Structure 1
Amino acid sequence: MTDGASSARAFVSLIGAGPGDPGLLTLHGARALHEADVVLFDYLANPDLLRHCPDAETIYVGKKGFSEYISQEQINTLIVHKAQANGGQRVARLKGGDVYVFGRGGEEAEVCAVAGVPFEVVPGVSSAIAAPAYAGIPVTHREVARSFAVLTGNTREGGAHYERLSGVDTLVLLMGVRNLGQIAADLIAAGRHPDTPAATIQWGSTPQQRTVTGTLTTIAQVVRDAGLEAPAVTVVGEVVRLRESLRWFDLGARVGGPLAGKTVAVTRTREGASGLSDVLRARGASVLEVPLIRFAPTPDDGPVAHALHDFEGWLLLTSNQAVTALFAFLNRAGLDARALARVKLAAVGPSTARSLDEHGLRADFVPATPGARHLGAELPAGPGEVALHLTSQLAEDDLRSALEARSVGYRRAELYRTEPAQLNENTAERLKEAAVITLASGSAARHLASLAGADFDPLSLPVAAMGPQTADAAREAGFTRVTVAQTASLEALADAAELAVRQH
């Protein structure tokens, strides 16, 4: 590609992430994230949305209240810098709510225009509408309110001129929880009746949503008594009275098992989202996907090519990644599945077997109980036969030991590498608040344990493990509060997470 063609690739998508519920991201927004090389996300953008961009560089640029992690000017500079880097990149700027509703998206669009970087705006669902809706409050209603206004509650830059809004039926205040007492007094002084209904919704549309109601006279004290903090939306107007008959989210979506309103951390690889997350969300959990490990190509295909040359024994695959890496190797070598015609395929469990099936190959053997030791103990190979294990540089020894105890020859070739992933600051902070952490592999357990430091001790957290082998690895790594899934399935692992929450 020429330099000119590379530069032409520079592009910025300013994406509204919605109010918090990851299901409210638009299809256009999801597509733009998938195509991004770099994603800048803020405090109010649900980190779950990063599953749409598993291969992108992700940068947390969060700002919370009056305490800024990074200034707006620095964010503006970073957007342009990343778009112009490496000869041109696609940058996704993921912003909570809507891009242009008090999100300073206009400033970010302006800096792109000045720098000559093409950009698009992908509108998002604003919390000004969504948070009240999830709390059972329509901002307009034919018989109650025929107009509404959205205001910033940030009064640092001067008066709000509330007297100009005397004819507006519903007022929606964003970023106003800290100044709510003064705002309410100013509204009353501007002519609003002191008994006008008011409601404040914290973390609207998420499992952490909390709503309190009062009047202009009482709402500030009600919010203080309830301990509500930012992010929160306050609604003022007669429509608040409709909450008692129209509330639905806090009466329905959050009813369920012990995971309702709890944060469950799902450890996974960098390359893909976990199907477990969807199972947990259906049970009311707030899911934090934690990329503890990432997979990288082996620096030299030679050992694998040599090991597979004329091989006719059992080929052992002990992870989904091994299947992915195997077909990536075949593609690089100009080969396809026909190169495996003379081998017998053994998968460590049903998930790995399904990965093979997706490539048009059926596993010749899957142990009754998933796990490397069970594969080694149950593999239908006799003394003198040879098994080739294609795996990473961190392969556990259980498989080799089990096979050699039966006089089955064991060979191993490094097909890919398993490396630690770096956690961004936002993920690390949220991980501390998790009610339970799920572990699908021994390597995930070891990598999680390695995060222990002066201000964070993951070993103190309860974990749910996928099978006895992963549970053993977790205990060996130092975890003491381990719950084991009864079967190797996502539903069973979710059951184990629920049990861990109840027990701990």
Structure 2
Amino acid sequence: MVMVMAMFSISIQSLPSLVLSCSSSSSSKHTSSRSLVSFWKPQACFSTTSQKPKVVVTREKGKNAKLIDALGKHNVNCLEVPLIKHAPGPDSDRLSALLRESTFDWIVITSPEAAIVFLEAWKAAGTPKVQLGVVGTGTASTFHDISQSLNQYLEIRFTPSKATGKVLASELPKVGSKSCTVLYPASVKAGSDIEKGLSDRGFHVTRLNTYNTVAIQEVDAMVLKQALSTPVVAVASPSAIRAWNNLISNLGNWDNSVACIGETTAVAAKKFGLKNVYYPANPGLEGWVDSILEALRAHDRLQKDLAS
């Protein structure tokens, strides 16, 4: 059992792209795939090191630091090119009221952004005692900064054996013999695996679309040129895959590597026809870093073969 929380703010700001030094470790898988998308705009690029970047990091501005630090431990430099931003969803204003007025056997959180939005609403609702099921360690880590005075009210009681929505829906325990109630604060773009899987098992699911993922509309031409020549693009969501594919769709044969945070994102990459797709067996930062390093090793081998 883990008891945890943190307070974060969601803001949409200008997005400067940076070449930064990065770090980490774990296990991986490989796959292959390519297709289409929409986008918006980071600024110029500033190098803090003489080395060229080897990895493009693409999460929303301000949310790439952990990956950059993890890769930095392996002397891998990063170019920050945010491909997405987050915006309030149509149900964002309902979440705190529902937490204040109703109780649920489970609250299911399936992404770090969903956790951030939930925590804001939970605090606004007066920090009621809740029981959480989270999709994996990456999402769970969002809660780790909860203050000791509040963590007794926020319990992470379940994570599935594999960090996917389908597995979570198939394994979430029922509470007693009654109809089990679940609150699912989700992205507008999230699929129906969670509610369908739980409803089929007899759970009563309330889904709120609390946030939306908006693709970047434009990237500075010089930043994009540098990103296109970087060996690996690291992506953490199907939305980021769509945004990247949209950026490259008119640029001919881009065939560098894509390192995905997990299988769901990798499947999206394959559907778009992207090539050289790497991903870990279990989603999370450590496996993601290992997949990035695997992609870089493959790139280095190819360059040696071409040079010989």
Q: 1:488 to 1:464 in 2, by over 3 A?
A: same
Contact 2:18 2:81 in 1 (8 A): no
The aligned residue for residue 430 of structure 1 is: 226
Q: Give 1:487 deviation, angstroms.
A: 3.6
Q: How does 1:423-462 map to 2 (within 5 A)?
A: 423-455=219-251, 460-462=255-257
2:142 paired residue number:
355
Note the C-alpha offset of 1:374.
1.7
Q: Which residue of 1 aligns with 2:185?
A: 390
Higher deviation after alignment, 284-293 or 444-453? 444-453
1:280 to 71, 79, 86: 71
Cα distance per residue 1:43-63 (max 9 Å; x no partner): xxx823699xxxxx9643x8x
Closer/same/farther in 2, CA of residues 376 and 477 from structure 1, 3 Å limit? farther
Which residue number corresponds to residue 325 of structure 1?
117
User: Paired residue for 2:168?
Assistant: 375
Note closer, same or farther for the CA distance 1:446–1:403 as it changes in structure 2 (3 Å cut). farther
Contact in 2 for aligned 1:207/1:284 (Cα 8 Å)? no
Tell me, what secondary structure is at the counterpart of 1:375?
helix
Alpha-carbon distance in structure 1 between the residues aligned to 2:281 and 2:234: 14
Partner Cα separation in structure 2 for residue 391 and residue 370 of structure 1:
16
Q: Which runs of 5+ in 1 are unaligned?
A: 1-36, 52-56, 63-93, 98-204, 209-261
SS in 1 for 2:161: coil
Structure 1 residues 307-346: aligned runs within 5 Å = 307-308=98-99, 309-331=101-123, 333=124, 335-337=125-127, 339=128, 341=129, 343-346=130-133
Question: How much does 1:290 deviate?
Answer: 2.1
- What is the Cα deviation at residue 305 of structure 1? 4.2
Q: What is the CA distance between 1:286 and its match in structure 2?
A: 2.4
Matched, 1:267 2:58: yes
Which residue does 2:27 correspond to in 1?
none
SS at match of 1:438: strand
Please identify the structure whose Cα radius of gyration is greater: 1
Separation in 2, partners of 1:438, 1:477: 16
Q: Distance in 2 between the 1:444 and 1:417 partners?
A: 13
Equivalent position amino acid for 1:351 in 2: G
> In structure 1, how many angstroms separate the alpha carbons of the residues matched to 2:203 and 2:211?
24
Distance 1:296 1:368, change over 3 A: same
Inter-CA distance 426–363: structure 2 relative to 1 (3 Å threshold): farther
The question of whether the paired residues in 1 share the 8 Å contact of 2:260 and 2:277 is answered with yes
- Point out which structure has higher relative CO (alpha carbons under 8 A, 6+ apart): 2
Output the amino acid matched with 1:410.
Answer: V
The alpha-carbon deviation at position 405 of structure 1 amounts to 3.1
Give distance in 2, aligned partners of 1:300 and 1:478. Answer: 34
Structure 2 distance, partners of 1:447, 1:307, is 33
Contact 1:451 1:457 in 2 (8 A): no
Is contact 2:91-2:208 (8 Å) kept?
no
Q: Secondary structure of the residue that 1:497 maps to in structure 2?
A: helix
Alignment partners' CA distance in 1, 2:238 and 2:96: 27
1:293–1:419 CA contact under 8 A, matched in 2:
yes
Residue 289 of structure 1 corresponds to 80
Identify which of 190, 206, 209 aligns with 2:50: 206
Q: CA 1:399–1:500 in 2, change beyond 3 Å: closer, same or farther? A: same
Work out the CA distance in 1 between the residues paired with 2:14 and 2:233: 27
* Count of residues paired in the alignment: 259
Partner of 1:48: 19
> For 1:465, which of 244, 248, 260 is the aligned residue?
260
Q: How far 1:330 moved relative to its partner?
A: 4.0
